[in-house]
Every structure is written in structure tokens, then in C-alpha cells.
Amino acid sequence: MSAVKVALQHAQKNGRRKTSEAMSVEVSPDSKCPICLDGFHNVSYLDRCLHKFCFRCILEWSKNKAECPLCKQPFNTIYHSIKSEQDFQKYELKQQVENSSFGYFEGVRFRYRTTLTGVHRQMRGRTSPPPDNGVMFEASAHPPFQRQDRYIRRMMARLAARRRAESEGRTVNNVREQEMIGIIGGSGLDDPDILEGRTERYVDTPYGKPSDALILGKIKNVECVLLARHGRQHTIMPSNVNYRANIWALREEGCTHLLVTTACGSLREEIQPGDIVIIDQFIDRTTKRHQTLYDGQPSSPPGVCHIPMAEPFCSRTREVLVEVARSLGVKCHHRGTMLTIEGPRFSSRAESLMFRQWGADVINMTTVPEVVLAKEAGLCYASIAMATDYDCWKEHEEAVCVDNVLKTMKENANKASSILLTAIPHISQVDWTQTIRTLKSMAQSSVMLPKH
């Protein structure tokens, strides 16, 4: 993403009021719209890359292809008439399922008649944007999915941070992405008491409702969101967890990182019950779960996503967890391959022995598709796995059962929570800007959009 240079425009001495055209873009140093090559009229920004255009120009452009003319990143929303972090208007594009010029604004479906832009304006001797006329409105029984206000506020905060950086003489490249930590708690590891000043928020997503309410709060002054994977009453079995809704809700809330906890069985002698494993690979043995956010439905993002999975987990986030565990004196295995089964039953002995031969180190029922969806969402995802048993491969050892799992979790849950509570402030002290941008760029470039 090109760096966006931001400068506060002071009021003129002749008393003219301050205007929202207070920001300029590195790619247009002469302060002209890159589309019409004229001065900005109703300055607007794209939600993904923050490149700046005339609102009418980029609106007309989006009818043909909803991607930035400068960096080619797809966008869904245009923010315009920007005066402050709390004073702006939002235009949300309709997902184009057919060749049409329809869009949505404030829940109303509408279409603009063809207007002159760019070269055609110059050919006819016009330099100003088209007038605000020729609008045809139609009622719509299906208003678009409304993104969470927190996402909008965070995007506007990025613009405000860039303004401050420029006014203080700092380079815009030094403006950091603001971290928000999502925590997905597994069985027995979803205690909301770890959050300070917590509030609850029930949300909906294009994929339905998440497992439970999002619990917002802070851990050592770092913004966090907690979600119980199986519901706070543990009523959702692994196959029925709405993984897509969970990931979507946390991303829309503004999370940049996901730290998750999970109970697992050990497939290795050296990984003893009570040990922590910071897993780095997985083997998928699930059969009934949605594995992508891009499922072709009208309410889902368009296209097909072929996300790379060579490195499923965020290596930098894993490194933080490993170092924190070592500093706390917690026995921690710094890598391991998780095998995820469908469940809810445990493995047969033959299966358990086969999984060992495959090279798996631990086994659970929830890592997949959660890690896959987090990768599609461009999130820094890392998992703290706690071994509770030896599954059923080990001779002369009691086979896994619910009572033993719960007993081990109760005795060792403090290990996972102490790693979380210590790691989160460490994460907030690291500059994640490039890591986050790399993950988002990978996610975006992995999508094959439909041809028009």
C-alpha cells in the first residue's frame, strides 16, 4: 500500500472555513484527482488502501471494476466528505453478482445514469466533475450487511494518526497499525475474568451468528475481544461451531491478531499431559466443515480464494508465545503438528497409531478450519495447545476420556492463561505494520475474481 501523506490545512486568514480536503496523496503531489486530473471535489478514500479521489470519479470507476485505479486492491467502501474522525459519510458498494450499475447507500438500492468522466470530459472541454443529478432510486428488500462501527472508527483513526504524524514532522511510514487482540477460548479456557472493563456485544455476520457474544475489554491496557468457541455453556460440538461467523465477527470488530487456546491429546511420548505446544502445522481429517469465506453466496466476498497454507500460523506471533512461555518457566514445545479430526468421538486405537505414523504430534477437533479462515481474513493467528492425555495409542496408559481431560485442564489452565496475559502486552510493544500488511496482501492476491 502506498504511503498516504497527511497534512492539516489551516484556515485561511480571510476567514474561509476549514475544509475536508486536508490530506494529500503521495501519488498525486499536485493535489489532483488521479482519475479526472482536476482538483478534488468531495474528497474520498478507499477502505483498503486509503488512496484519495473525487467521490463522483471513484464512484463511476467502481461501476466497471471495484478496485483501486492506483494499486489495484479491491475495495468495498468509499469514505467521503471527511472532516474529522467522527464526521464523515460512508458509501458501501453492492457486491456485483451481475453486470449492473446498482449500488447501495444508507440501505437504499440505486443506480446512476451514465455520466462523463476523465478523458470524455476533457474532450468536451469540461474540467469539473459531473453534477449531482440523474439518480434513479429503487426500493430494496435486502439492505446490505452493515459493518461494525468499530471498523469504521479504526479506519478513521488511521487517517487521524497520519494527520498527527505529518503535523509532528514524523514520516507517514512510521505510523503503526493499531493492534487489537482476539482471543478464542477452547474447552475450559474461555474465562472472561481475564478482561478488564468488559462489555458484551451480540453481532450477526453474513454466515450467521458467532458461537456467543463478543466480550470486549482490556488486558494490561491492550484492547481485546474474547469469544467462547463452544459457547459459554459449552453447548456447541466441534462440527457445529460456526467458524466462519467467529472469524468474520472478530475481524470486523477490528482484530489484527487471534490468540486461541485448545485442549489436545498427545501423540508423542515427550509431550506429556499438562505440557504446552505452540503448534506450527496441521493435518486435516475433518469432513463436514466450511473451509472458506468465499463460498459463492451473494452475501459472501466475491471470487474463489486459493490461500497458501505452507505456513498456516503466524511465525512472529508464535515466537512471542514461545519466548513468554520460556520466561514463565512453563514447559513448552515450540513447534508441533496438530491433527484435527471431525469428532465429537475420540479416535480408535488404530487411528491413533496411524496418526503417529503420519508425523502428527497432537490431536484435537477445532484447529481446522479455524486457522484456514483466519489466514483468509489476513489475521495473525497463533494457537496455545494444552496436552491433556495420550489419546489411546499408548499401551498400559488409560485411554482418553472426558473426566481425565477435564481434570487435567483444571489443574493446568493457569498455564495457558498466564501465557496469554503476559504475551498480549508484549505483542502491543512490537510494530506489526508490515506483518499485517503482508498477510492482508497475501489474502487479497489469493482471490480469483469472476470475469466480467
Residues annotated catalytic, as ranges: 389, 391
Q: How far apart are CA 121 and CA 129, in angstroms?
A: 8
Query: Hey, what's the cell of 105?
Result: 447507500
Cα separations in angstroms, 385 against 73, 201, 278, 362: 36, 27, 6, 9
Distance CA 418, CA 416 (A): 6
| Exposure of 183 in the CB half-sphere (CA atoms within 13 A) | 28
b/e string for 385-406 if b means 16 or more Cβ within 10 A? bbbbbbbbbbeeeebbeeeebe
Q: Any idea what the Cα angle at residue 340 is, between residues 334 and 342, rounded to 5°?
A: 165
Residue found by looking up cell 490461500 in the block: 307
Cβ atoms of residues 217 and 195 within 8 Å: yes
10 marked among binding-site residues: no
Question: What is the residue type of 38?
Answer: D
Is 187 marked as binding a ligand? yes
- Residue 217 in contact with residue 226, Cβ under 8 Å? yes
Measure the CA–CA gap between 205 and 246, rounded to whole angstroms. Answer: 9
Whether the bond into 369 is cis, omega within 30 of 0: yes
Residues facing residue 18 across a β-bridge: none
State yes or no: 366 annotated in a binding site: yes
Any binding-site annotation on 263? yes
Q: Is 343 left (phi over 0), alpha (psi -120 to 50) or beta?
A: left
For residues 267 and 356, is the Cβ–Cβ distance under 8 A?
yes
d(CA 20, CA 118): 23
What are residue 224's DSSP bridge partners?
A: 181, 217
Q: What angle do CA 333, 334, 338 make, to 5 degrees?
A: 75
Is 229 annotated in some ligand binding site? yes
117 is in an annotated binding site: no
| Greatest C-alpha distance within the chain | 89
- Helix H or strand E encompassing 89: strand 87-92
Residue 442: strand, helix, or coil: helix
Axis-axis angle for helices 402-428, 315-328 (nearest 10): 110
Are the C-beta atoms of 93 and 62 separated by less than 8 Å? yes
Closest CA to 115 of 103, 126, 105: 126
Which residue numbers belong to the known binding site? 187, 229-230, 262-263, 365-366, 389-391
Which residue numbers belong to the known binding site for substrate? 365, 389-391
Which residue numbers belong to the known binding site for phosphate? 187, 229-230, 262-263, 366
